[in-house]
Amino acid sequence: MFRINGILAGIFFLLGLFAFFYSFQFSEVAAFWPKFFAVVLMALAIALIVDTKLKPDREQVSENTISTREYKLLAIIAASTVIYMIALDLLGFTVSSIVLLFILFWIFGYRQLKNALIISIASSVVVTVIFQVLLNVPLPQGLFENFY
């Protein structure tokens, strides 16, 4: 766990360092709070390294908590969501959601095509009806503007 915690502590330390120096641009009143907690963040990042060194077994977990494969899968989900957001304006909420759900079912191993399609359509339509019709929250309709 030392290597992972070391990397995480490094990221938090850099974040604190960035927040601290960036705060110099702010007015004195506005800078006090972020500067103070940026220093605390850096101190805690160092404390994490020291704590892990002193008690390496504290968390009782193995070194590679997230595998490369898991990171890849996470990236696929994030990328699918970004593409979905781009498609929203064109295809509208309902159609984009059906496609997103179906693709995610397929990628993540739910291969019963008929069920996947039914669940994708049913979920998207139910969510659309709840927000658009029952709660009066307008959702993007894209090409289907004024269709419902």
User: Does residue 2 interact with another protein by CB under 8 A?
Assistant: no
Number of other CB atoms surrounding residue 53 within 10 Å:
11
Q: Among residue numbers 72 through 111, which ones bind another protein (CB under 8 A)?
A: 73-74, 77-78, 81-82, 84-85, 88, 93, 97, 100-101, 104-105, 107-110
Structure-token match 């959702």, residue found:
139
User: Does residue 114 interact with another protein by CB under 8 A?
Assistant: no
Contact present, 93 and 141 (Cβ < 8 Å): yes
Cα separation, 11 vs 113, in Å, equals 42
User: Does residue 121 interact with another protein by CB under 8 A?
Assistant: no
The DSSP letter of residue 65 is S
Q: How is residue 84 written in tokens? A: 């979905």
- The 3-state DSSP class for residue 2 equals helix
User: Does residue 127 interact with another protein by CB under 8 A?
Assistant: yes
Contacts with another protein by CB under 8 A lie at: 4-5, 8, 12, 15-16, 19, 22-23, 26-27, 29-30, 33-34, 37-38, 40-41, 44-45, 47-48, 51, 58-61, 65-66, 69-70, 73-74, 77-78, 81-82, 84-85, 88, 93, 97, 100-101, 104-105, 107-110, 119, 123-124, 127, 130-131, 135-139
